[in-house]
Chain A
């Protein structure tokens, strides 16, 4: 009798416990999914035309441009060659800048330094900057992925 009652109680406990657990999971799942942001609907950009003419750019200088939603950096080397890279530091995501006096690309956040080929030469960055292809056509500078 005792065992029958306790097993009945045990059964009800399992049923209720399981029910509540299932209900909690059922309510929690949409919340968790809600917290994870949806993938951005922005198309991935393959190339952009920067808003400056080649003649406007001095040798030994660099400027940040918009590559879709990301910053890119267009560098004109002291020799007058145009090069472009992703401006996002490979260390922790800060935006790099060109240093005229040292002729390098520098990240102010943790003192990371890249040479003018985008190669990480000093400081914490683990990888080179992503290199973009630069084409000059009819007084326009076109920067595209896949160099």
Chain B
């Protein structure tokens, strides 16, 4: 070697040889060469995890940009976001992409979650992948909830009041949880500081750790093949991850980016009016769409069910539902043994139907002014 490299190719070869001389990368190369993805009629669902990851990367990048102008205080938060969307060049675009991408992320994450559920990919040996994924699901919902407050507008203010009060309904520790979430008895500037801390430090830290584990497990164990296809006994075709699957993934990411760009440009995310703790909750108030089914449920539950407060029943119901999903790999013994498991299939159908119907009712049912 020696001498000055004369072309880009030569430069790359030189850099590669330089690294190779110091660090043995043969393991990584082997991994890339041998990693395959099963091909069958449910392969399409494999793309949604990657798409969620892609949207998360967009969230990190746009979030860092927004940090440069955002000010986390009740006096300045709304004005700083207003400044971002009106004064800063492309500020409206960055903020709009951050908001839209958050929503698309929750959507792709839900598709990912339920596609894994219905293809029973949670079964042994992937229990931990499922549990870490459910943790990420909870973390991302909390990301959404905490980020929603940061512009300090009227809708977010009341959504946070209701949301933290729902947490406060948990028996015994509820009041303490609500106080810790709010940074005091009420939703105030202290809540904003806290939510900012959750949103930009605590949750990203947790995500990094758990997402790392999740991706490691997916990598280590490979993609799950749905039991019905395994049972069919036919040999399963595969495609190489690099470049076949990766390029298809890329098409998905570019499509997501196109949708995101169009949404952000044609439907810029609204800022609304600044929160006023001494104004009544406005008519037509509603949370983000992914909390809509809970919101609507709380509307329908009567004040008292027997001796118990209705809202407590609702909160416990959601808790049980979440716990069921979290523990499903350990509850569904039949799938673990490689048998058909119609009960869990129909429970899944029930959950999805409930979420869809209640969400829809949230948008169309009367009950306003």
- A: residues with CB less than 8 A from B are 35-37, 40, 64-66, 69-71, 73, 87, 89, 91-97, 99, 106-111, 120, 123-126
Contacts and interface: CB of A to CB of B under 8 A. Distances in A.
A125 B138 CA distance: 28
A71 B275 CA distance: 14
Contacts of A109: 158, 162, 281, 285
A92 B367 contact: no
A94 B281 contact: yes
Given A66-B278, A94-B162, A109-B158, A124 B302 contact: yes
A73 B281 CA distance: 13
A89 B285 CA distance: 14
B244 interface: no
28 contacts: A37-B182, A64-B280, A65-B278, A69-B188, A92-B161, A92-B162, A92-B298, A93-B162, A93-B164, A94-B281, A95-B158, A95-B277, A95-B279, A97-B281, A106-B369, A107-B281, A108-B283, A108-B284, A109-B281, A110-B299, A111-B367, A123-B299, A124-B298, A124-B299, A124-B301, A125-B303, A126-B303, A126-B304
Interface in B142-195: 158, 161-162, 164-166, 176, 179-180, 182-186, 188, 190
Interface residues of B, number: 38
Contact of B184 (A37, A99, A123): A37
Contact of B281 (A36, A40, A108): A108
A-B CB proximity, top 7 nearest: A97-B280, A94-B281, A93-B165, A92-B165, A126-B303, A108-B281, A92-B162
Nearest to A70: B186
A107 B285 CA distance: 10
A69 B182 CA distance: 15
Given A70-B186, A71-B278, 4 more contacts: A35-B180, A92-B166, A95-B277, A95-B278
A100 to B, nearest CB: 11
B277 A71 contact: yes
B164 to A, nearest CB: 8
Contacts of B282: 108
B2 interface: no
Contacts of B277: 71, 95
Interface in B259-312: 277-285, 295, 298-299, 301-304, 309-311
Nearest to B164: A93
A94 B295 CA distance: 13
